[in-house]
Structure 1
Amino acid sequence: MQAKIENAPIVGEGSFYRRALYTFSGAHFLNDLVTTGMVPALVVMYKDAFNLNYTQSTLIVLISYLTSSITQPIFGVLTDRKPRVWFFAVGLFLSISGLALTAIAPNLIWLLIFVAISGFGSGVFHPEASRGTHFASGTKKGLAQAIFQVGGNGGQAFGPLMIPLFLVHTGIDGLIWLLPLALLSLVLTVPLLNWLNGKVKDFQFKKKELPGENHLPGTILLVTVILLRSWCQVGVVIFLPFYLSNLTLEQSELLNFIFVGAGALGTFIGGLLSDRIGMKRLMVGSMFLATPFALLFPHTSGFLSVIVLLLFGFTVLSSFSISVVYMQLLLPKNIALASGLSIGFGVGAGGIGSVFLGSISDLLGVSTVFTILSLLPLIGAVLAALLPNENKLFAK
């Protein structure tokens, strides 16, 4: 996932560089495939392989999200001050190879270390990848950002499919075959470093601050809504295989793909709709519409459960893309902080919440967790209704 959105225009726009842009998008696909895509889906396999309880299992996700998402604003600030173009290639290599090494982890401690290496690589990768996307975009900023995000969303959606298509046949040991992919990632990214380094030297960034004052109460509310949405999303991905214990691992991970894939589509459609109906209305409406599907899902089966899960994923994540813009309106004096809170911190907190849900699972059972997950969108909708109207923020 993206660490930080560069809002500063480049002095002297360049041309739309398709090769670079699709390289950034492809690299984003690979990164999110192994981090936000595969790690949560692998929890059920790690649990069996290392004989873990639910709390220990969700600790894996916590470490992954802490090192990948929570650190992204930090790396964003560092690369703003002094660009480090090699972060782009090295970060992707570490994110893939770190997960590959979990195949040879002898115990939980080493498993967490390798997962942390993978997450750290993801945190390093995103700021320079985001910066490079801006260099390659020319005057087509919106189109470039959409292509870059599609790469990440696609990786996150396809990550769970690696379980039924490959790892269910090889077990955890099969992850070691990601090492050749890590090496191939260098072939993809290294040739672009000279171009990227040249752009860093030729162009200067100037921060663009939106008019108006920071809106602290609104910021706290929006962060809370993002946290609730993230806890719901990550919770469903992690606990769905445990909840649907009557299904095979392949079937449950296919349902995860449907949920996350529908969310990726919802992210794109939600961004388009927000221009017509407004960001606040879209955020409140999407969270509210997700509630009945969340409540209904535990009581459905067969094909109907697939449809409900698809609609659940589509609605609950359709506000993802507008959260960043909304946060920037609330924090016009701190654009970088706004991006870090809404993307890096907001998504990473989903991993933190999953640990608490894991403890609840150990005490009260997985069904109780799904009851909690079904209420999170409703609480988020109520809080989102209290957000300041974006038209008033624009007027400042």
Structure 2
Amino acid sequence: MTVAAKQQNNLQIATIYGILVAISAGHFFNDSIQAVVPAMFPILEKTLNLNYSQIGWIAFMVNMTSSVMQPVFGYYADKRSTPFLLPFGMFMTMVGLIGFGLSPNFFVILCSVFFIGIGSAVFHPEGSRVAYMAAGNKRGLAQSIYQVGGNFGQSLAPVFTAFIFVPFGQKGVLSFVMVAMIGIIILSFVSNWYKGQIAVGVKKAKKKVAEVVQKSVHPKLKTAMILLVFIVFARSWYSAGISNFYQFYLIDDYGLSIKQAQIFIFIFMIAGVIGTFLGGPLADRFGKRNIILFSLIGAAPLTLILPYVPLLLVVPLFFLIGFIITSSFSVTVVYAQELMPQKIGMVSGLIVGFAFGMGAIGAVLYGTLADIFSIKFVMIFCSFLPLLGLLTLFLPSDEKVRRLNEEH
């Protein structure tokens, strides 16, 4: 089925909350399993004697495969939707999960996280499309509901470390196989609905297919997409530094235990969940570009002082930074979809996938810098990244995006 037929079906007014909750749950299961990988870093460092560079390469493998491949699967889905890629992606993740739990060395771990990453890459573009199809006229809210499931799953990484992997070690990973199986069941239900929507969309859109297919993208919107990817790329580098290495900074510079460090990371992550959920509705009210700008420039003063504050101030700063910087998480996806409404799957994969995958390169760089200099040096470097949010001022306003789409 063509992209035009699918998009005509998406013009529905009603928001289908049941499907949004279901796909959000699938997103939760997918990303909570992916969060197992960084959650295991403190354990693997000790049990397999890994250095920071090797940890960076593990983060690189899972993030690069899960992210860079997303636009590829999204492009394919724009040409021909395959609803049952959703449970298939979860199955691939489950295979990688089993291998990760049984991995005896660094190289087997890399192979295992490759499968986890590919499973995630298969899931995300079609997950974003389902959220778009079920959104009705509340695209910001719908994308927030979808994304908050994933962010909440990611936020549980420090909980997994403290209560599962510290007491049970690497074998504790195998307990997540049941989570993957539940995810497969839920996503099979969503896929059945998705398949029905495609059938309905074919009948509704036959007369308008040629009109939408021939409509090209305005050059200014293409430029805006490139700039948006770079902005998300900068935000991803900051998040990669916090999620993968700040726990080591807390341990080395503040003298915390592994379990104590996870509490701080969890605060940052759970604040991000709240920010993700509220960011969409706020963008519907105040504008998407404004929220994207606020999420980075608003967080910059706080990120700049974070490496220098006493432990007592880390918690409130962490909460505020997590909330503010993640408030544009779902908003950037919706903004990208409105820049290029003819390519929903590809741009969703580009923003959620490729741009975040660049954070994987950051993880390798951070690991190398930490081995050469120190963890504190990495944290100071990260603190300047939100300042790149000033580039948002060069993005077209929401109204201008709509006008350019209508004119071209």
CA contact (8 A) 1:239 1:366 kept: yes
- The residue aligned with 1:258 is 267
**Following superposition of structure 1 onto structure 2, how do residues 41-56 of structure 1 map, counting pairs within 5 Å?**
41-56=39-54
- The residue aligned with 2:196 is 198
CA contact (8 A) 2:247 2:262 kept: yes
Two-structure CA RMSD over aligned residues (Å): 2.9
CA contact (8 A) 1:230 1:347 kept: yes
SS state of the match for residue 385, structure 1? helix
- The residue aligned with 1:181 is 179
- The residue aligned with 1:61 is 59
- Of 175-184 and 323-332, more deviation after overlay is shown by 323-332
CA contact (8 A) 1:32 1:155 kept: yes
Aligned-partner residue type, residue 302 of structure 2 = F
CA contact (8 A) 2:59 2:360 kept: yes
Q: Distance in 2 between matches of 1:220 and 1:134?
A: 22
TM-score by length of 2: 0.85
Aligned-partner residue type, residue 238 of structure 2 = C
Q: Distance in 2 between matches of 1:63 and 1:242?
A: 20
Q: Alpha carbons of 1:17 and 1:291: their partners in 2 closer, same or farther (altered >3 Å)?
A: closer
- The residue aligned with 2:403 is 395
Is 2:92 the counterpart of 1:86?
no
Q: Distance in 1 between matches of 2:343 and 2:192?
A: 31
SS state of the match for residue 171, structure 1? helix
- The residue aligned with 2:229 is 223
SS state of the match for residue 62, structure 1? helix
Q: Alpha carbons of 1:385 and 1:162: their partners in 2 closer, same or farther (altered >3 Å)?
A: same
Q: CA deviation at 1:381?
A: 2.6
Residue segments in structure 1 that go unaligned for 5+ positions in a row: none
Q: Distance in 2 between matches of 1:226 and 1:157?
A: 19
- Of 288-297 and 227-236, more deviation after overlay is shown by 288-297
Q: Distance in 1 between matches of 2:287 and 2:131?
A: 27
Q: CA deviation at 1:133?
A: 4.0
CA distances 1:141-173 after superposition (whole Å, capped 9, x unpaired): 555433322222221222331111211110112
CA contact (8 A) 1:158 1:257 kept: yes
2:370 to 350, 361, 369: 361
- The residue aligned with 1:30 is 29
- The residue aligned with 1:294 is 303
Aligned-partner residue type, residue 221 of structure 1 = L
- Of 382-391 and 342-351, more deviation after overlay is shown by 382-391
Q: CA deviation at 1:38?
A: 2.8
CA contact (8 A) 2:296 2:389 kept: yes
CA distances 1:307-346 after superposition (whole Å, capped 9, x unpaired): 0111111122222222234334555665544333322111
CA contact (8 A) 1:265 1:314 kept: yes
SS state of the match for residue 201, structure 1? helix
Q: Alpha carbons of 1:321 and 1:183: their partners in 2 closer, same or farther (altered >3 Å)?
A: closer
Q: Distance in 1 between matches of 2:141 and 2:328?
A: 19
SS state of the match for residue 371, structure 2? helix
- The residue aligned with 2:103 is 105
Q: CA deviation at 1:362?
A: 0.9
CA contact (8 A) 2:299 2:386 kept: yes
Q: CA deviation at 1:75?
A: 1.0
Is 2:239 the counterpart of 1:233?
yes
SS state of the match for residue 50, structure 2? coil
Q: Distance in 2 between matches of 1:142 and 1:122?
A: 22
Q: Distance in 1 between matches of 2:381 and 2:123?
A: 34
CA contact (8 A) 2:139 2:334 kept: no
- Of 365-374 and 340-349, more deviation after overlay is shown by 340-349
Q: Distance in 2 between matches of 1:333 and 1:193?
A: 22
CA contact (8 A) 1:43 1:58 kept: no
Q: Alpha carbons of 1:116 and 1:392: their partners in 2 closer, same or farther (altered >3 Å)?
A: same
Q: CA deviation at 1:66?
A: 1.4
CA distances 1:19-69 after superposition (whole Å, capped 9, x unpaired): 54433221111001111x332232222222221221111111111111111
TM-score by length of 1: 0.87
Is 2:149 the counterpart of 1:151?
yes
SS state of the match for residue 230, structure 2? helix
Q: CA deviation at 1:350?
A: 1.0
CA contact (8 A) 2:78 2:344 kept: no
Is 2:404 the counterpart of 1:385?
no
Q: CA deviation at 1:394?
A: 3.4
Q: Distance in 1 between matches of 2:11 and 2:186?
A: 27
Q: Alpha carbons of 1:160 and 1:392: their partners in 2 closer, same or farther (altered >3 Å)?
A: same
